Structure 1
Amino acid sequence: MTGTAVVFAPAPVLTVTVEERAGDPDVHLHAGGQGVWQARMLTGLGGRAVLCGGFGGESGQVVRALLEQEGIEVAAVGGEIRNGVVVQDRREGGRRMVAEATATGPSRHDLDELHNLVLARGMEAGIAVLSGPAPPDRHLVPPDLYRRLAADLTAGGCRVIADLADEWLSAVVEGGAYLLKVSHEELRAGHLAPAGTVPELVAVMHTLHAGGTEAVLVTRAEQPALALVDGCLHEIVTPRMAPADPRGAGDSMTAGIIAGLLRGDHLPDALRLGAGAGALNATRHGLGTGSRQAVERLAAATELRLLDDQGSHHLRMNRRELAAWMTRM
């Protein structure tokens, strides 16, 4: 596989997990967060990931070193940023939170540096995924940064893939994107698809497509995802797996899509690879992990079924109107 994708992860997190081995504590340190899980799976599938984000303080130094040990290139901004830390105890089987330190947010100067860094590397790579900060740190990164990045990357010829929610997704809608990925739970919570029915979801997808987004992907937990590609609606059907931990499956799906695009797949085939990566990750406890061979086999067994949506309707809005409509989320 050739090519590189840029992953924007504004503030990766240091995760410290305490498990048990032979009756003794077994402590694990990992880099975590949405963008990290995407970059990890992309690397595992043979792609090359450049993770652009903020790294600062002792936690930032450790996170950066851990990422580089995994073969993920780091393009960093320091400044006033300090990365968050999560400490969990899993010795009794569940996840008991021991301590959580939120990140210290970037200054206005740091935000400008992040924008310029992602813009330069994204235009060079040709594909960029915009991921969000960890939930406790969301308020530290303003949605307007995502709007500017989406608009400027798109103007520079970069394919922007957004895996976001709430006002951060709305900001990208206004800026413009190649592919928007959103869950049906988020559309329900935002009252854009109150009942979460397929007709409601499809209407939202067509509205986003009519506003300039090339492709729209809606995940539906254990139900088949819906994809709108070239104006045609598809249902993505994967072999049903026994889940071990569903967390991170959506991020693995995003990574699989990017891996497919990097190797030259057309978007439908890239969606199959993404579905395979997401399905496999749900069978594991490690986020953003999985055998490349197993992912390829699941992708080969994944179907894109064409659905009849002649009765669907959508609104015609420009990007700014779309963003205002999406803020209902």
Structure 2
Amino acid sequence: MIYTVTLNPSLDYIVEMNDITLGALNRTKNEAILPGGKGINVSQVLKTFETPNQALGFVGGFTGDYIETLLHTLDIETNFIRVNEQTRINVKVKAEQETEINAKGPRITTENYMALQDIIRELTHEDTLILAGSIPSSLSTTTYEELASICQETGTRFVVDAEGDLLKNVLPHKPFLIKPNHHELGDLFGVTINNCEEVIPYGKELINMGAENVIVSLAGEGAVFMNQEQVYVSTVPKGVVKGSVGAGDSMVAGFMAMYEKTHSFEEAFRYSVAAGSATAFSTGLCTREKIESLLPEVRIVKF
């Protein structure tokens, strides 16, 4: 079973507008209310691939109730820890420029966190845990390291989609997969990365630091997959980008869903790129039909 962890989930209010003027009345063209948070996004795209999974994390109040209801409607299992404050509401404005207003989120107590640890300790070598997104200010910055350490003890395969020190500090625990974008990779090493070829030496360094598999996305410039044995470089499909929210999460989900089914890194990478592009070209998260339609445009070269 695949388990996703979203430490600070949200109820996302998504509004589409022609343009937005500050200090004036603005009207929407379209709007939607969706469960949000990187791990929750991964869970939804895994379900698109018909991959069973369970969403873990913290929820509270009527907004938390609504997130659980929405996920259950999508036939996604949940095992959230209840907290005493409301789950946050984030606003995503899609106009000429994409604008996000993200709330802080509820306080997570020590008891809440220990309850999550107890759930993760029950996982085994047959399970995969996906840690995605930021850590709430009420939790320690070492939270991912602590959860990764539990996975090492139990033999649970784990994936990390985070940035900066959150990502760097889990590498000694040997994550199965990490997925920085080229900006995040450049920030880790203090360099600017402009193309797929420039990714390769720094991706290899991440592997030397402990990562088993690395995907680096470069938006319209392509993507790179690497491990100790192989390096693949992929083109990305052409299309109209409607938003970046969830594209990276879709890449993680597409990769893990297809790797579970095929155990082929190349095929998993192909679906990863198609899933990320499908979400970028959609108002919400990708559909399986959109992913399949883009697959022929994903060309992979082995380096």
TM range (shorter): 0.7 to 0.9
Q: Deviations over 1:109-145 (max 9, x none)?
A: 211211222342x427521211013xxx643333322
Q: Deviations over 1:175-200 (max 9, x none)?
A: 22011111111122344433556565
Distance 1:214 1:18 in 2: 39
Q: Deviations over 1:281-303 (max 9, x none)?
A: 111111x232x133234335423
C-alpha spacing 1:197/1:264, structure 2 compared with 1 (3 Å): closer
1:109 aligns with one of 111, 132, 140: 111
C-alpha spacing 1:306/1:115, structure 2 compared with 1 (3 Å): same
Q: Give 1:319's aligned residue.
A: none
Is the contact between residue 125 and residue 155 of structure 2 (CA under 8 Å) also seen in structure 1? no
Distance 1:253 1:155 in 2: 27
Matching of residues 16-31 of structure 1 within 5 Å: 16-17=13-14, 28-31=32-35
Q: 3-state SS of the aligned residue for 1:130? A: strand
1:73 aligns with one of 69, 77, 99: 77
Q: Which moved more, 1:10-19 or 1:227-236?
A: 10-19
**1:254 Cα shift?**
0.8
Distance 1:273 1:281 in 2: 12
Q: Does 1:84 align with 2:88?
A: yes
2:165 aligns with one of 161, 164, 167: 167
Q: Does 1:11 align with 2:8?
A: yes
Matching of residues 177-216 of structure 1 within 5 Å: 177-196=175-194, 198=196, 200-216=198-214
Q: Structure 1 unaligned segments of length 5 or more: list them.
A: 308-329
Matching of residues 115-264 of structure 1 within 5 Å: 115-120=117-122, 122-123=123-124, 126-133=127-134, 138-196=136-194, 198=196, 200-264=198-262
Distance 1:71 1:166 in 2: 33
Is the contact between residue 83 and residue 108 of structure 2 (CA under 8 Å) also seen in structure 1? yes
Q: Does 1:289 align with 2:286?
A: yes
Q: Structure 2 unaligned segments of length 5 or more: list them.
A: 18-26
Is the contact between residue 276 and residue 302 of structure 1 (CA under 8 Å) also seen in structure 2? yes
- What percentage of residue pairs aligned between the two structures are identical? 21
Task: With the length of structure 2 as denominator, give the TM-score of the two structures.
Answer: 0.85
Q: Aligned letter for 1:111? A: Y
**1:19 Cα shift?**
6.2
Q: 3-state SS of the aligned residue for 1:182? A: coil
Distance 2:40 2:71 in 1: 8
Is the contact between residue 221 and residue 236 of structure 2 (CA under 8 Å) also seen in structure 1? no
Distance 2:90 2:199 in 1: 35
Q: Indicate the structure whose relative CO is greater, using CA pairs within 8 Å and at least 6 residues apart.
A: 1
**1:88 Cα shift?**
5.5
Q: 3-state SS of the aligned residue for 1:64? A: helix
Q: Aligned letter for 2:173? A: G
Q: 3-state SS of the aligned residue for 1:123? A: coil
C-alpha spacing 1:170/1:103, structure 2 compared with 1 (3 Å): same
Q: 3-state SS of the aligned residue for 1:41? A: helix
Is the contact between residue 257 and residue 274 of structure 1 (CA under 8 Å) also seen in structure 2? yes
Aligned length, in residue pairs: 294
